[in-house]
């Protein structure tokens, strides 16, 4: 099983690396920046900000066509897709190879062109798919197959974001919902191997480099406030996006709906270039304390609107980074009001607390959210307690809301 976990990690690492390189290449080509190198120091945020407003609108129109044609064609002519959750469920449903590969590529292409959804689902699906193929090749028994498919999904997450520790917890907290020694060992092997393989091509980079923020009494106090408020928003964001996906357009309506939805996002990006992409640019600005109240407030509304309309139009993608960015923006708004009347605090640190709190509720994974916040930013130890306080407050609100389910 250890050998199969290592093979799964290698396959997931190659898959995550390949998807990341495709993403960067399309981004550079679409927005005309850093054309001499696939991996460059110029960020997507810099690239889209320097592109003309008309180019941003045009690329989102193309994105709408890709989404509006690609997914309906896949649904009509391909076999039904199988989610990672279904692949690790009791039935152990096999994931169709061709359809899963195409589905992942569609997600990566649309995110590269500017879709407001996340890119983490594609490498997770690839990792789970590769794990199924490896286990089938060596005849792994059912329980080992379930564990290794979950590890493959976690390894895909580790590869694309360089977060092996968070990915290990993700496997146990979200996918398998149990802790056993063999699960820990298999997840450790697959996730660290996948992250190492990905680093060979992408480098050992931190997703969101941040300044060294110190902790004090004011930060601890505002974490007690931000956690429940932003966490509660995360709970309703989860319900809202689930409803949007459940009522998504299909067939011919999806073609027209996708084009209209993405053109609206493109029009918004003519005013707010930071809006484009999965939300990494927004999170970068928030974590480095480069957002004001006057910019953060309209951006969070524009991001929510963008995610809503593209989900209703039938686009597919993840919600990890979008949720991270929305939580950071909401925390910036709260922190900006705090700074107007109370002793000033670093808004970047507050944004990180808010991002973890929102993510813990929007994806129902408090432990993973804390580790993602730390690994994404290489956060100093001084921020561990504020992040934990924020996530605990968010989890308390999630528990309270869960006791009174929506009708």
Residue 402: predicted pLDDT: 80
Contacts for 365-370: CB closer than 8 Å, 24+ residues apart: 365/170, 365/173, 365/174, 366/173, 366/391, 366/392, 366/394, 366/395, 367/169, 367/173, 368/166, 368/169, 368/170, 368/173, 368/174
CA quadruple 361, 143, 99, 21: dihedral positive or negative? positive
Which residues fall within 8 angstroms of residue 244, CB to CB, at 6 or more apart? 307, 308, 311, 312
Query: What pLDDT, in 10s, does the model give residues 184-233?
Result: 999 999 999 999 999 999 988 889 999 888 888 899 999 999 999 999 99
Residue 403: predicted pLDDT: 65
Residue 159 has pLDDT above 80, yes or no: yes
Residue 174: predicted pLDDT: 94
Query: What pLDDT, in 10s, does the model give residues 324-372?
Result: 999 999 999 999 999 998 888 999 999 999 999 999 999 999 999 999 9
- Name the band, by pLDDT with cuts 50, 70 and 90, for residue 12: very high
For the segment 279-296, the average pLDDT, to the nearest whole number, is 92
Please say whether the beta carbons of 202 and 37 come within 8 A. Answer: no
Other Cβ atoms closer than 10 A to 322: 28
Euclidean distance between CA atoms 145 and 68, whole angstroms: 35
Q: What is the CA radius of gyration of the chain?
A: 20
Euclidean distance between CA atoms 335 and 342, whole angstroms: 10
Residue 407: predicted pLDDT: 41
- Name the band, by pLDDT with cuts 50, 70 and 90, for residue 31: very high
Which residues fall within 8 angstroms of residue 340, CB to CB, at 6 or more apart? none
Query: What pLDDT, in 10s, does the model give residues 33-49?
Result: 988 888 888 899 999 99
pTM confidence score:
0.94
Nearest partner of 190 among 229, 164, 169, judged by Cα? 164
Residue 235: predicted pLDDT: 95
Euclidean distance between CA atoms 149 and 143, whole angstroms: 10
- CATH 1.10.10.10 is held by the domain 217-402: no
- CATH 1.10.3080.10 is held by the domain 2-202: yes
For the segment 247-271, the average pLDDT, to the nearest whole number, is 93
Residue 39: predicted pLDDT: 83
Residue 66 has pLDDT above 70, yes or no: yes
Residue 404 has pLDDT above 90, yes or no: no
Query: What pLDDT, in 10s, does the model give residues 370-392?
Result: 999 999 999 999 999 999 999 99
Residue 405: predicted pLDDT: 53
Share of the chain above pLDDT 70, in %: 99
Domain ranges of the chain: 2-202, 217-402
254-279 as b/e: b if 16+ CB within 10 A = bbebbbebbbbbbebbeebbbbbbbb
For the segment 280-290, the average pLDDT, to the nearest whole number, is 93
Residue 229: predicted pLDDT: 97
Euclidean distance between CA atoms 272 and 283, whole angstroms: 14
For the segment 41-69, the average pLDDT, to the nearest whole number, is 95
Mean pLDDT of all residues in the chain?
94
E strand intervals along 145-291: none
For the segment 65-80, the average pLDDT, to the nearest whole number, is 95
Contacts for 168-171: CB closer than 8 Å, 24+ residues apart: 169/367, 169/368, 169/371, 170/365, 170/368
Residue 92 has pLDDT above 90, yes or no: no
């Amino acid at each position: 099983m250890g050998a199969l976990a290592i093979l799964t990690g290698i396959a997931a690492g190659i898959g995550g690396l390949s998807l990341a390189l495709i993403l960067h290449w399309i981004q550079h080509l679409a927005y005309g920046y850093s054309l001499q190198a696939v991996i460059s120091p110029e960020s997507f945020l810099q690239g889209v900000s320097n592109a003309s407003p008309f180019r941003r609108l045009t690329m989102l129109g193309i994105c709408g066509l890709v989404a509006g044609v690609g997914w309906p064609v896949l649904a009509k002519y391909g076999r039904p897709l199988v989610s990672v959750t279904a692949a690790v469920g009791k039935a152990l449903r096999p994931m169709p190879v061709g359809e899963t590969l195409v589905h992942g590529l569609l997600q990566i292409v649309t995110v590269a062109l500017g879709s407001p959804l996340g890119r983490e689902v594609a490498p997770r699906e690839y990792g789970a798919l590769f794990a199924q193929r490896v286990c089938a090749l060596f005849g792994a028994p059912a329980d080992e197959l379930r564990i290794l498919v979950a590890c493959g999904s976690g390894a895909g997450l580790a590869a694309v974001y360089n977060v092996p520790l968070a990915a290990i917890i993700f496997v146990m907290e979200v996918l398998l919902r149990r802790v056993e020694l063999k699960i820990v060992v298999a997840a450790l092997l697959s996730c660290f191997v996948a992250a190492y393989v990905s680093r060979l091509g992408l480098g050992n980079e931190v997703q969101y480099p941040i300044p060294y923020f110190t902790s004090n009494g004011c930060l601890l106090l505002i974490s007690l406030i931000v956690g429940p408020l932003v966490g509660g928003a995360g709970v309703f964001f989860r319900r809202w996006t689930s409803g949007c996906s459940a009522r998504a357009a299909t067939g011919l309506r999806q073609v027209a709906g996708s084009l209209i939805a993405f053109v609206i996002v493109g029009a918004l990006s003519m005013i707010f270039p930071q809006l484009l992409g999965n939300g990494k640019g927004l999170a970068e600005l928030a974590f480095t304390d480069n957002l004001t109240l006057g910019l953060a407030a309209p951006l969070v509304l524009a991001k929510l609107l963008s995610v809503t309309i593209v989900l209703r139009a039938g686009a597919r993608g993840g919600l990890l980074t979008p949720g991270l960015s929305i939580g950071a923006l909401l925390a910036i708004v709260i922190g900006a009001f705090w700074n107007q009347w109370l002793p000033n605090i670093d808004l970047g640190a507050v944004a990180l607390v808010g991002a973890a709190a929102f993510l813990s509720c929007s994806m129902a994974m408090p432990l993973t959210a804390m580790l993602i916040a730390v690994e994404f930013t290489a956060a100093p130890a001084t921020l561990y307690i504020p992040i934990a306080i924020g996530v605990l407050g968010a989890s308390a609100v999630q528990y309270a809301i869960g006791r009174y389910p929506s009708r």
